[in-house]
Amino acid sequence: MPREHLVSINPATGKTIGTYRVHNEKSVDNAIRNSLKTFEDWRLLSFPKRADLLINIAGQLRKERESLALLATEEMGKPVQQSRDEVEKCAKALEFYAREGANFLANEIVATEARKSYVAFQPLGIILAIMPWNFPYWQVFRAMAPAVMAGNVMLLKHASNVSACALAIEKVLKDAGAPAGLLQTLLIPSSHVERLIDNPAIAAVTLTGSTSAGSKVAEAAGRNLKKCVLELGGSDAYIILEDADMDVAVEIALRGRLVNSGQSCIAAKRFVVVKSVKKEFERRFSEQMKMVTFGDPMDSSNRIGPLARPDLRDQLHEQVLKSIEKGARLVCGGYIPVGAGSYYPATVLTNVKKGMPAYNEELFGPVAAIIEAKDEKDALKIANDSIYGLAGGIISRNINHAENLAAEEFEAGNCYVNDYAHSDPRLPFGGIKQSGYGRELSAFGIREFVNIKTVFVK
């Protein structure tokens, strides 16, 4: 395929479903000019009028929910019901910021010796959004909704394998009546991103992706002294304490590990189990994982669809094999199925220890790592023994005690007690350590890309 094209391949069949011509430098420059022109008017628009548009976009998403869901499933392999749910989640985020955005950005009066002093929040300009393929709609709208409600405009550089989804997002906004420059899709390869960040017209950058990609974007943004928000990888640990309700523990582990076929930065990945209950958890969890079906993502009976690309499936399998070579025991799964599509079965590794890929690295697919801990203190030590710090959880009948551990001792940006991690517009979302910095969603998210300005009137 010529280098001037991006290619979209159906991961369930391996067949090419679309080719897209890369935007040349002139097209990118035109998009930037269009963004700047739109920003001049959009930043002056009242909050109620911005909110009206967000409500319209939410309605348009719901109107096109089925076609958008089918497109995402075809392009990146997500089980189709999860694609439908993702579209609905985007609509709810838009409605949330339409309802709360003006309150989040209202002037904050501060009592000083001045006649009047307050903090005001003003938009920055063009936000460059660099987004991944695993949640092709949600990742975009959770960044876009607060950014545009705050008065910014956005350029979207989506993952190359979901170019059709990226263009569909742009069309949804157009059909909802958005100004042409409010959100524009740039069909460019990753190699062009640094040059785009260097452009003086770009005010700030938000990226969801791998830690390595985040490092490169942070370097470019830092060199240009531009604000950036990074939501990166995770190897989320779930601590199962001695007093855990085992029915609850198994259900949380199953749902948390298999969301989006395991391709989620906040999916449950490492299960740190206190020794006294490890055997029971391993048996019951493995029994459930063995029953999970994988196959055609358009068939709602399949809980796991294909991984998004063959190379990602192969990389995951290599991590499994290397962990086994180092002493992990394979309980179920752990093979590459014969036939078309980048499928991988629900897999459980136990006796996982430090130094194995299943312990140290992010497993981006339906592979669960079970790690034994001597006691609660050891479990927390193991959970925190990671370069990542995105999310995690604690499962225990003693809710007050688990809450205290989650709030005070668990090293992560998001910690859940007796539930698995999920993003919610009402709560801030983001990580620490090599899982990134900055926050999306809630009041914190809408204030990431504004000028927090002191106004002092004597």
**Domains held by the chain: number:** 2
pLDDT confidence of residue 2: 41
pLDDT digits (tens, 9 = 90+) for 59-94: 999 999 999 999 999 999 999 999 999 999 999 999
Determine, yes or no, domain membership for 430.
Answer: no
Task: Flag whether 280 is in a domain.
Answer: yes
Q: Are residues 251 and 307 in the same domain?
A: yes
Is 4 a residue whose pLDDT tops 90?
A: no
Q: Model confidence over 189-214: pLDDT tens digits?
A: 999 999 999 999 999 999 999 999 99
Per the structure, the complete domain to which residue 132 belongs is given by 5-232+435-457
Provide the β-strand partners of residue 130.
157, 207
Whether residue 310 is found in the same domain as residue 201: no
What's the pLDDT tens digit per position in 323-336? 999 999 999 999 99
Residue of 231, 282, 362, 372 with catalytic role: 231
Rounded average pLDDT over 281-295: 98
Q: Are residues 184 and 244 in the same domain?
A: no
Half-sphere exposure (CA, 13 Å, Cβ side) for 432? Answer: 11
- Angle of helix 65-76 relative to helix 80-104, nearest 10 degrees? 120
**98 and 228 part of one domain:** yes
Q: Give, rounded to a whole angstrom, the gap between the first and last alpha carbons of the chain.
A: 65
**Active-site entry in 90, 165, 228, 265:** 265
217, 189: one domain = yes
Is residue 282 annotated as a catalytic residue, yes or no? no
Query: What CATH number is given to the structural domain containing 35?
Result: 3.40.605.10
Sequence-ordered list of residues with C-beta below 8 angstroms from that of 369, at least 6 positions apart, any chain: 269, 270, 271, 323, 328, 349, 352, 358, 359, 363
Tell whether 310 and 394 lie within a shared domain. Answer: yes
What pLDDT, on a 0 to 100 scale, did the predictor assign at position 163?
A: 98
pLDDT of 371-429, one tens digit each? 999 999 999 999 999 999 999 999 999 999 999 999 999 999 999 999 999 999 999 99
Please confirm, yes or no, whether 415 is among the known catalytic residues.
Answer: no
Q: Does the structure show a pLDDT above 80 at 3?
A: no
Is there a single domain that holds both residue 354 and residue 384? yes
- Give CA–CA dist 271/425, Å, rounded: 27
What CATH number did the domain enclosing 355 receive?
3.40.309.10
Token digits for 162? 């979901």
